[in-house]
Every structure is written in structure tokens, then in C-alpha cells.
Amino acid sequence: MFGRVFWASFKRAMVEYWRYPSSWQKGLFWNPIQFILPFMYGLQALSGDRMGAETTGFVLLGTLCWAWLNNAMWDATGLLQREFHTGTLETVFLTPAPRIAWLLGSVTASSVMHSWVSLFSGVLAFFLFPFPLAPHWAAVIVYALLVFALGWGLAFAASGAMLYLKRANNILSVFVDATLTMSGVTFPIQSAPRWLYSLALVIPFAPAVTGLRQALMGQGDLSGAYPVLLGLAVAACLLLAAGIYLFKLMERQVRKNATLHTY
């Protein structure tokens, strides 16, 4: 059942991307133009001719990661919002289909699509702002998977909040933007003041983004990174479990209050 629902949800989302090309074409605009290029040109405006290649790579990869996570999170909550507004959420939830499989199918499709968009954005930005790229592929894959898992955990938690609050775009936006901003996407967290550094340490995205960035720039491989990877794997499992738990809890609550399809 889980696999069938997952596949049906995944296929539906992919068919929609195919049917409405503007949905992914938007990503091609939104990703580089909203998240990456403003920071790259901002960096250029700030540093004049002093913009080093390493700094360029630092900001470019950080903002690329941010764009990917941001899109994945909004696509998951967007699915619930759309079903709610079209009045079909209760119908979907009355079926015996596992909700997590339904959500995961859609989030996976979104992740696949946004990975291609991110790759395109990254290549485009790399040609405009070259920097030393020397990926340790094994480390890149491991860190990318951990970033995926963390992002999905956050997406499930956000979906639960959306289910309960109904009108929560601004709350979620502030939460996600704050989380990612404090993850050191545009600045090295080690050089930040102690309070900011401490805050970044408790956000699991910070070491994941840093690790992925270092792996792509050839500054770190898997050897010696096991303690960080283990910590991240535990954090990813915990965040995924917490996200799924929160989603189920909110679903139970709205069923109890009979507010699944109403405000």
C-alpha cells in the first residue's frame, strides 16, 4: 500500500510538471534570480575588486543549498494547501492511503525537479562566477542525502503546522528563512559572535550545508568526518521522526476538532 500510494503521488506530481511546464520553468527563474544572483552581485558590490574565488564559491554553494531546501519545503505545504482550498483534502484523508506516502511521493517529485533546477542554476552561476570546484563525490552524495533527509523532516513538520493552522504562510516563511539564514548560507558561522554561533550549532542544517560546500570545493572528504556525519545522520533521523510525528499529531487534532476541511 505504502509503495503504491507513494508511486501514485509521485507520478501525479511529475505529470503535473509535464502538463504545466511553467511550474518548473518558474524554478529556472526563481532559483538563480531570487536566491543566488542577488547575493553574488551583492558580494561584488560589497567587495569591489577584492572578491576572491573561494568567497564566491562559499556564497554560491550556500545560496544554492538554501534555494533547494526552500523549494522542497514550500512544495510539500503547497500540496496540502491546494487540496484544502479545492475542498478535496478531507476526501483524500478519508481514504486508507498512508498520508506520509502521499506526501513523500509529492516531496520526492519536487526534490527530483528542484535538483535539476539547482544543477542548472549552479552551472549557470558557475560560468558567471567561477570558483575552484573539486568535488569529493562520495562526500557530496552522503552530505546531499543528509540535506535531503533534513529537508524532508522540516517539510513534514511544516505540513503538519499548515494542516492545523490553515493560514500559516507567513509563520512558516519566517521559520524556514530564519533557520536557513542562521545556517551560515551567506557567512561562515565560525566567525559569527558566540550567540549566533551557538544558535547555528543547534540547527542541523548548518553543519550539513558546511559539509556539502566543503565536499564540493575539495576542502573535505569522508575521512575524519565520521563524527559530524554520525551526528547529522542522528539529527536527520530525529528531524524526520519529529516531522512525521508532528504531522500525525496535527492530523489527529484536526480530525478531533472536525476542522480538516474547515477553518
Contact residues toward other proteins (CB under 8 A) are 20, 22-23, 25-26, 29-30, 33-34, 37-39, 41-51, 55, 58-59, 82, 85-87, 165, 167-171, 173-174, 177-178, 181, 185-188, 191-192
Which residues are CB-neighbours of 69 under 8 A, at least 6 positions away? 147, 150, 151, 154, 176, 180, 205
Cα–Cα distance for residue pair 215/222, rounded to 1 Å: 9
Least distance from C-beta 255 to other proteins, angstroms? 21
CA dist 262 → 64, 71, 102, 167, 211 (Å) = 37, 26, 21, 11, 43
Q: How far is the CB of 192 from other proteins (least distance, A)?
A: 5
From the CB of residue 50, how many other CB atoms can be counted at a distance below 10 Å? 8
Give the three-state DSSP class for 32: helix
- Shortest Å, Cβ 230 to other proteins: 28
Cell 540547527 found at: 203
Q: CB of 181: closest distance to other proteins in angstroms?
A: 5
Decide whether 186 or 222 has the Cβ nearer to other proteins: 186
Which of 35, 247 has the CB closer to other proteins?
Answer: 35
Contact 166, 77 (CB under 8 A): no
Q: How far is the CB of 14 from other proteins (least distance, A)?
A: 17
Between CA 172 and CA 15 the distance in angstroms is 27
Q: Given the complex with other proteins, which of 56 and 136 has the nearer CB atom? A: 56
Amino acid at 68: W
- Phi, psi angle pair for 220, to nearest 5°: -170, 140
Q: What residues have CB less than 8 Å from 36, skipping those under 6 apart?
A: 60, 63, 64, 67, 121, 125
Q: Which is nearer to other proteins, 95 or 169 (CB)?
A: 169
In the complex, least distance from residue 104 CB atom to other proteins, rounded to whole angstroms: 23
Place of cell 566567525: 191
**What's the closest the beta carbon of residue 45 comes to other proteins, in angstroms?**
4
Nearer to other proteins, 50 or 256 (CB): 50
260, 218, 254: which is closest to 53 by C-alpha? 218
Query: Which is nearer to other proteins, 34 or 257 (by Cβ)?
Result: 34
Nearer to other proteins by Cβ, of 43 and 240: the residue is 43
